[in-house]
């Protein structure tokens, strides 16, 4: 489009270019959510999932990180499984119920994981095969808000990882 404008005796010819349509960028691909790493099965070792199913969690009393008698029996069975498969490693996760502050529960969960590790080490499992982590109250097994749920949530879980 041309426009003629006269300003102070000067003739100006103004042109404008045709407007371009806005082009939205095409989305070619969406980012895929991260996937779990593949587990490599080593010779002589059954699938990691099978070993994982054999390892049992233990539970703790309120505000305690001491190994109970029932937990000691479970830890002995877990140690026997770990002895059968010396090429696997585990992470012991310490958990708490929802009572207490986040900071307190993280510390208590860590003490619980460390107590379970110490017990396994005393049964002959190499400490290099065991890592510990605390999740405090962040990963409840039972979302309830009563003693029954809290008792289930005061625990240590044993998670198999590759060596």
pLDDT, tens only, 8-24 = 555 455 555 555 454 44
Question: Which pTM value belongs to this model?
Answer: 0.71
* Contacts of 80-84 spanning 24+ positions with Cβ under 8 A: 81/51, 81/54, 81/55, 82/120, 82/125, 82/129, 83/124, 83/125
pLDDT tens by residue, 45-74: 558 889 999 999 999 999 999 999 999 999
Q: What angle do CA 61, 62, 67 make, to 5 degrees?
A: 30
User: Considering only CA atoms, which of 110, 119, 107 is closest in space to residue 68?
Assistant: 119
Question: All domains of the chain, ordered by start, with CATH?
Answer: 52-162 (3.30.1330.60)
Res 16: pLDDT: 52
> Rounded CA gap, 32 and 163, in Å?
28
């Amino acid at each position: 489009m041309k426009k003629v404008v006269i300003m102070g005796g000067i003739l100006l010819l103004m042109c404008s270019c045709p407007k371009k349509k806005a082009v939205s960028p095409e989305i070619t691909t969406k980012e895929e959510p991260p996937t779990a790493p593949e587990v490599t099965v080593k010779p002589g070792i059954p699938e990691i999932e099978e070993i994982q199913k054999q390892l049992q969690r233990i539970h703790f009393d309120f505000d305690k990180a001491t190994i109970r008698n029932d937990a000691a029996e479970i830890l002995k069975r877990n140690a026997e499984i770990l002895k059968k498969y010396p090429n696997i490693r585990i992470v012991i996760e310490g958990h708490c119920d929802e009572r207490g502050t986040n900071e307190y529960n993280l510390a208590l969960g860590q003490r619980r994981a460390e107590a379970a590790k110490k017990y396994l080490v005393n049964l002959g499992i190499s400490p290099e095969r065991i890592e510990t982590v605390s999740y405090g109250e962040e990963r409840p097994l039972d979302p309830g808000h009563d003693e029954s749920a809290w008792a289930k949530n005061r625990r240590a879980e044993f998670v198999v990882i590759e060596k």
